[in-house]
Structure 1
Amino acid sequence: MTFENLKVDINDRIATVYIDRPKKLNALNRATIEELHDAFKFLLDHDEAAVIILTGSGEKAFVAGADISEFSEYSVAEGEDLAAKGQEMVFDYISNFPKPVIAAVNGFALGGGLELAMSAHFRIASDNARLGLPETSLGVIPGYGGTQRLPQLVGKGRAMEMIMTAGMIDAQTAKDYGLVNHVTPIEELIPLAEKLANKILNNSMQAISSAIMAINDSYKDGVNGFNTEIKNFGKSFGTEDFKEGTQAFLNKRKANFK
């Protein structure tokens, strides 16, 4: 597929999705959000794309925020619709994506950019990264899941401070907070993401998909994540991956998962 605001490369079962609006610091506009949905929908059914790396073009920004010019005149109803559709099409869609998604944060990840990174299954960052939710300085609140995912990742108190002050934190602070897993020089960011992706590819993608579902269910109101874990654990026993994994272990060889 070809896109106006994205680039998608697929090599050795790793798909790298670049938000590609460098002159706008990769800011999210409506067209980019729609293309992100289309890209992930395409990757869902693409057998050669087993792990997805999500990043921004250039070294200045992952995503520097939403394109404010598009919604500065919105009404109450339009604002609510903007958040609802964005969450459904992209942020919740990526969070619940059955294939692993790694956010490689290069430079600024602000507002919708940080919310996009938080929707990935985990995050790594370059040492020049700056992360924050500055929406309250514009008279609004985060609308793409920021008030929900940030407390889950860094704790309620730190999330309250970050949102109330509208300030940025650097990459090392983000790592200390648990917001990102690794910090690396900018030139090593994608190689590190690919290294982690290849470690993931050594394992059963079917089992990983089931684990993603079980982990996510533990954060959903009215859903018992333990029950999901039990159900998906049981289902694993009926898969070819389980047979291959256990036989490989018992015969002291590397598993060859399909």
Structure 2
Amino acid sequence: MSYQNILVDTKDRIQYITINRETKLNALNKETLDELHTALTQAFADDSVGGLIITGAGTKAFVAGADISGFPALDAAGGTALAQEGQTKVFDLIANGPKPIIAAVNGFALGGGLELAMACHIRIASDNAKMGLPELTLGLIPGYGGTQRLPQLVGKGKAMEMILTSDMLTADQALQHGLVNHVTEQSALIAKAEEILNKILSRSPFAVTAAITAINAAGSADGYQQEIALFGNCFGTADMKEGVDAFLNKRKPVFTGK
């Protein structure tokens, strides 16, 4: 499929999605979100894709926020619909996706850009990255999951401070507070994301999906029960039998996702 706002490339079992609006600092508009939805849906359905890396074009920004040029025309109902559609079609789709997704944060990740990174399962930042949720400077609050995901990553107190002040974190500060998993030089960013993703792809695809689902249920009323059920389901897979046999016979497992 031909895209106007993103680049999609697949190498080996990794699909690379690049937000390709460099002159706009890769800001998210409706068309970009629509294309992300399509690309992600197709990747999840493609058995040749094991995991994804999302990044931004250029060296200045991952995603510098949402494209706010259309905001003045929206009323309360329009704003509600905007947030609902984005959450459902992209941000929740990523967070609850069956395949691991790593955000390679190569510069500014602000507003919707940080929310996009936080929806991903793992975040790697270049050393020039800066991250924040400045929506209050516009008289708004984060609307793509920022108020929910940021406290889970950095704690309620730090999330309150970041959102209420609109202050940004440097890459090192983001690492210190648990907002990102690793910080690298920009030239090494994609390689680090590939290193981590390839390690994940050496595990059982069935177990990876089960683990993502169970971790996402952490803190919910039935989180422990979901873990128990997913743990039990693994015993019905060929991958579990292969993994145990490989361990007992001191060899590397060959998983098939079945």
User: TM-score, normalised to structure 2's length?
Assistant: 0.98
Partner of 1:170: 170
**For 1:74-85, what aligned pairs fall within 5 Å after superposition?**
74-85=74-85
Partner of 2:136: 136
Partner of 2:251: 253
* C-alpha distance in structure 1 between counterparts of 2:164 and 2:232, whole Å: 44
Partner of 1:60: 60
Residue by residue, what CA displacement relative to the aligned partner does 1:160-210 show, whole Å, maximum 9, x if unpaired?
010111111100000000000000000000000011111111111110100
Deviation at 1:73, TM superposition (A): 2.2
Q: Does 2:41 align with 1:24?
A: no
* C-alpha distance in structure 2 between counterparts of 1:163 and 1:224, whole Å: 29
- Percent same amino acid among aligned pairs? 58
Q: Does 2:189 align with 1:186?
A: no
Q: Does 2:36 align with 1:44?
A: no
Equivalences, count: 256
Contact 1:96-1:216 at 8 Å conserved across structures: yes
Contact 1:51-1:197 at 8 Å conserved across structures: yes
Q: Does 2:108 align with 1:89?
A: no
Contact 1:10-1:48 at 8 Å conserved across structures: no
* C-alpha distance in structure 1 between counterparts of 2:154 and 2:228, whole Å: 28
User: TM-score, normalised to structure 1's length?
Assistant: 0.98
Query: Which consecutive segments of 4 or more residues in structure 1 shift more than 4 A?
Result: none
SS of residue in 2 equivalent to 1:218: coil
Partner of 1:13: 13
Partner of 2:226: 228
Specify every segment of 5 or more residues in structure 1 that has no aligned partner in the other structure, as ranges.
none
SS of residue in 1 equivalent to 2:104: strand
Residue by residue, what CA displacement relative to the aligned partner does 1:103-135 show, whole Å, maximum 9, x if unpaired?
110000000000000000110100000000000
Which amino acid letter does the alignment assign opposite residue 257 of structure 1?
F
Specify every segment of 5 or more residues in structure 2 that has no aligned partner in the other structure, as ranges.
none
Partner of 2:2: 2
Contact 1:105-1:125 at 8 Å conserved across structures: yes
